[in-house]
Amino acid sequence: MSSHQVLTGFHAVVARLRHAPDSIKELYVEASRRDKRMQGFIEQAQAANIKVRPVATDRLDGLARGTRHQGVVALAEARTLALDVDEVLDLLEDRAEPALFLILDGVTDPHNLGACLRTADAAGVHAVIAPRDRAVGLNSTVQRVASGAAETVPYIMVTNLARTMRQLKARDVWLVGTDDEASASMHQVDARRAMAWVMGAEGEGMRRLTRETCDELVTIPMLGSVESLNVSVASAVCLYESVRQRQT
């Protein structure tokens, strides 16, 4: 089952039904649910020629492995939206569109990653990049919290994050890291150019080499008593600065 994903909850499974229905191998629903939402979901699955298997709640609990499933669990082939950053950049060159990446240096909380992916989708991010050895993968919790965004935003896990960052720089992608000690504000960034926002891990921030590889370090203005923002909130604030500038 290593090549398969467990998708739980309506959002994650509906997104897969919409984008890659053929990848769904088994689909289970809670037999006792007869509400309108479930009926509509079953009709959508059947329209995609997916066999729906009604089962008891405890069977769903076992399949979901502790993840909240809302009465819906699918076993599906793992999908890869993009293999590496060059693939994404080559596609953007064809569109003449400035790249927008989100780099997460060691985010290990699946709820934070799911929220980051959801915001990345909303802000038009072309890919989210993370180190392979210091980050959470696309598990069922991430899929559920992302509310379908894991099906639309490539999540590229790399062996060497600093090397990938240098690869981006070689292709004229400007790397902007967030750091509480920086003197410049995030609002001073030229976010209309091809760029990547670089965020540190929960509590620890960016690693030294990640920080040193950035082209620019900026701070998020903090006017209250708390010292920092959750990584998913900080990502949203910065990404929407890019959205604001690119729409003006």
Backbone angle region of 230, left / alpha / beta, with phi > 0 → left and psi within -120 to 50 → alpha: beta
First to last CA, the chain: 47
* 100 annotated to a ligand binding site: no
Q: Are 142 and 150 in contact (CB under 8 A)?
A: yes
DSSP calls for the chain = -TTEEEEESHHHHHHHHHH-GGGEEEEEEETT--SHHHHHHHHHHHHTTPPEEEE-HHHHHHHHTTS--TTEEEEEE---S-SSHHHHHHHHHHHT---EEEEEES---HHHHHHHHHHHHHHT-SEEEEETTSS--S-HHHHHHHTTGGGTS-EEEES-HHHHHHHHHHTTPEEEEE-TT-SEEGGGS-TTSSEEEEEEBTTTBS-HHHHHH-SEEEE----SS-S---HHHHHHHHHHHHHHHHT-
Burial class of residue 83, CB neighbours in 10 A (0-12, 13-18, 19+): exposed
Strand partners, 100: 195
Q: Binding site for S-adenosyl-L-methionine: residue ranges?
A: 200, 220, 229
Q: Binding site: residue ranges?
A: 200, 220, 229
